[in-house]
Chains A and B, each alone.
Chain A
Amino acid sequence: MKEKLRSLWQKLFGDSVRAFGVVSLVFLASMAIAPAKNFFSEWRHYQHGYLSTIRNRSEANTLRRHFQGGIQQIWLPDLGVVDRCTSCHVGLKEPTLTDVAQQPYRKHPVIPHNLDQFGCTVCHRGQGAATTVAEAHSSTLAWEQPILPAKYIESSCGQCHRGPLPGTPQLNLGRKLLSRSGCVHCHTVKLPDGSTMKATDDPPSLSHIADKTTREWIYAWLKDPQAYAVTSTMPNFKLSDADARDISAFLIANSALVPGDNVTLSAKASSDPTAGASLYGESFCASCHAVQNAAGNVVGGDVGPELTRIGSKVKPQWLQAWVRNPRVYDPPTAMPHYRFSDVQVVTLTGFLLAKTDSDLLANVHLDAATPEQIAHGKRLVSDYGCASCHEIPGIKKPENFAPELSRIGSKPITQLIFLQGMQHTLPDYIAGKIKQPRAFAPRLKMPQYTFTSAQIDALTTALLSLNDRSYSLPPSLAVAAPPESDYQPAGKAGKLMTDLACFSCHRINGHGSDMAPDLTWEGSSVQRDWLVQFFKNPGTLRPALIRRMPKFNLTDGEINELTDYIMTVYQSPAVDRDSMPLSGYSQGQTELGKQLFYGTYSCQGCHIVDTKTDKGYIGPTLTQVGSRLTAAWIYQWMKNPQALRPGTIEPNRAMSDEDARALTAFLTSQKGGGKQEAAKK
């Protein structure tokens, strides 16, 4: 062995010339490694592939002229972007390559941003500086940020865009669910602009729960909330029978009486068996409350709780008091105070109480609660963090009850514990956690929600947008969410509007819901007499609308109060109500307006002026528009509807002053048919 080595040494380095030769050869070979590696690199291979792909295309010359060989790089120091993706994805900017199926050569789909301004990894994640497929797309030991799966791509929009965008339904839904499903009651979510995400659900206070319902119902509800109402957002805590028994015992024992939230009315319900259903319909209860029909479909709004089995839940005396005036039991409730007569209250509650489910409480038998059970219930209520969502006297709202999620989208994978068989990626972890939180450990407190897989994807998308990059981006890129307003009307009228819960449907000065028209400029828009009549008897303006203004049975005094306030305060600076007369337009002007209405602008496609010939269903009926709207409003509306009501679908026709004036003349002459006149006399 030793001999052999020695002879080899002799052969190679025996004399200096030989040694020089050998060393030179070795040196030469090692010099060739780097160019060879470069020559056989993946990106070069893809660039060759690209050139042969475009060879046979008609626009090959143009494409070849645009092509630049070698490693390409987008370097954006502000964003921390060094992206070499375009070394292989060569055709991203070629408008003609939309039909190329072979990746990585397809043109990038149309988006509102420029590749050179944002690079690739800001949206797609992955490792920008890498020059091999595996290192760029997958996670490696040194870089654990893999390509973001396409279904979560909208999360990247959310890094800069803090508000909803028309092109990102998934992100918008996810953010809405985070607030609406109450996730942020337990999980703090601080946003890069310094604000904290607020919950938009309204979990009821449990301070007076014994006035409203029975311990048996609470027990059944705790065991399975969706068995009572399929639309319920209350999660299932998977409580044992004993735990549900003890919590229900505590909640009942802890409840304090509210004077006046139970009444027994002597009035008799209407003898007409359909009166209850009619009143439910006329009062437009279904605009906010849903009911599951025989076919299993849930029909109605989601502002208030589902009423499918309400009769199995509430105490009749409580429901009567609630329907009479909900503010006695729950002052800030979204439910309006309807001012029903006693007969109406009894009729409507009778109708509601008949909505029962005999199966719901059939197997619930609870013995009287012992002090130990109550004490144990109290401990459980603290442990499960019930007070994070519900107001419970004697129990403080816990702080930081669940992990903060402000930067969950950048959580290192090394800090996560995955389930067996799970992909080791952050999106999969988040989605899995939302889908089955307790699968990760039996003693975890997070309850089971009933999200659909589409909702889970949306939630995951919204959570992934909460990441480090959203903080490190240059502030100039951030697009703020529309500011929230806590506008409250003042004085007596303001109190009345709160009592009627106007903001549950209408929006004024940026505050309120968008179910019904925005009333910010209502005082410039409508005539006083019409408004008074409308309060007395709200008719329908849009024939195809399902949700309508209910009748609140207001007194004349209340109507005057509201009308005065609306006419004085809700005035647009752009519309001077008294600048244009309601009548006195020339015959010629009115006639021209009519021609424009039916001809040039074809308004009858959406609106009805003459009920005999016009059929348009989309906009409000205009048969009485001359008695409803002010002339100045009509004129300004013709000129630019979006300026008066942003987002309205009435198209802006860029009308000339003359056309707008003629249409105003024609429309103000529409004062309603003989029927209206006769009714007035």
Chain B
Amino acid sequence: MNRFASGVLILSVAALAASCSRKPDSAALKPTAFGAAMVESSGGKQFGQAATPLPQPVVVQVNDEQGAAVTGALVEFAAAPGVTFDPASALTDSSGQATTNVALGGMAGRYQIAASTLDKTHKKVELKMEEIALGYQQTLGRRLNEQYCDRCHNAESTAERVSNYDNLEVKPHPFTEGETLNKLSDADLTAIITYGGPALNKSALMPAWGNTLKKADVQALIAYIRAVSDPPSRSAGPVYAKN
């Protein structure tokens, strides 16, 4: 008996439990058409709290050889154990799109999710996407980011929050900008956040937060920055959940 496998299985029971109760019967869905290619419409690269649904649904589109949308193709979603889809399979709608709500597993990390459909020769066409689950520390970091950092470090404005990015003479680095931020060590980031930009010969527009944020807050922020960086930060560890 492979006790290892059973142990891991029981550990992932947590996130699985919810999915099992309302997993729709995919056998009931019969594709009426077949596509040739699949593209992502929206929902990739989201950050969600571990084990909770991602803020936006994942939407993929099935196209034929000419690139026109295919209606009625069967799309199945799959990922590592612990990730749940609602629904786990769907037929594409009139615009060729299939939509699913995704809840990532209980472990923080990067999750690969795969959407697949069959082409006319019944060969599998697959599209892979990556989603990021935030653990306790990163979730705390995300909240601090929204409160203190986001308005300058995020160039996007929302209805509730107008970005200050364009107003700044020296542009701050968005936290997803892995190329730059991955080169900075945790000690460097801690220094910049605690003592301000001049600590590393950077702009004074980045103020010192050392008297406002607690040490644990700074660590949480760095954990968040490492979690969302693109390309992934090395110190965040390898991709945890793979198919």
Contacts and interface: CB of A to CB of B under 8 A. Distances in A.
B49 to A, nearest CB: 7
B139 A99 contact: no
B136 A109 contact: yes
Interface in B13-42: 13-15, 17-18, 20-21
B105 interface: yes
B164 A428 contact: no
B86 interface: yes
B86 A453 contact: yes
B4 A49 contact: yes
Contacts of A111: 136-137
Given A453-B86, A599-B204, A616-B164, A109 B10 contact: no
29 contacts: A42-B3, A45-B3, A103-B7, A104-B11, A110-B136, A110-B137, A133-B7, A138-B13, A149-B17, A150-B51, A151-B14, A151-B15, A151-B106, A167-B136, A167-B140, A167-B143, A167-B220, A169-B143, A421-B21, A431-B18, A544-B161, A601-B204, A601-B207, A602-B207, A605-B168, A617-B167, A649-B147, A651-B209, A653-B211
Given A167-B140, A649-B148, 16 more contacts: A46-B7, A88-B7, A102-B4, A103-B7, A133-B10, A134-B10, A138-B13, A150-B50, A166-B144, A167-B136, A423-B18, A457-B52, A605-B167, A617-B162, A618-B164, A651-B207
Contacts of B140: 166-167
B184 interface: no
Nearest to B105: A150
Interface string A416-447: 00000111010110011000000000000000
A265 interface: no
Interface residues of A, number: 60
B21 A422 contact: yes
Contact of A151 (B51, B148, B219, B223): B51
B208 interface: yes
B160 interface: yes
A101 interface: yes
B207 A653 contact: yes
Contacts of A46: 3, 7
A415 interface: no
A95 to B, nearest CB: 12
A544 B144 CA distance: 20
B117 to A, nearest CB: 25
B151 A602 contact: no
Contacts of B238: 99, 101
Contact of B160 (A112, A167, A546, A642): A546
A170 B52 contact: yes
Interface string B122-164: 0000000000000111011001100110011000000111101
A503 to B, nearest CB: 22
A88 B4 CA distance: 11
A432 B22 CA distance: 11
Contacts of B139: 167, 169
B164 to A, nearest CB: 5
A654 interface: yes
A149 B167 contact: no
Nearest to A460: B18
A112 B140 CA distance: 11
Interface in A156-177: 166-167, 169-170
Task: List 4 A-B pairs, minimum CB-CB distance, nearest first.
Answer: A150-B106, A615-B167, A544-B162, A151-B51
A147 interface: yes
Contacts of B168: 605, 615
A133 B209 contact: no
A423 B16 CA distance: 11
B167 A616 contact: yes
A546 B159 CA distance: 8
Given A46-B7, A110-B136, A133-B6, A423 B17 contact: yes
B52 to A, nearest CB: 6
A600 interface: yes
B154 to A, nearest CB: 12
A85 to B, nearest CB: 11
A137 interface: yes
A201 B220 CA distance: 34
Contact of B211 (A134, A457, A654): A654
B216 interface: yes
B74 to A, nearest CB: 23
A98 B239 CA distance: 11
B187 interface: no
A153 interface: yes
Contact of A147 (B13, B50, B86): B13
Interface string B161-192: 11010111000000000000000000000000
Nearest to A165: B140
B205 interface: yes
A454 B52 contact: yes
B58 interface: no
Nearest to B135: A109
Contact of A423 (B7, B20, B108, B204): B20
Nearest to A602: B204
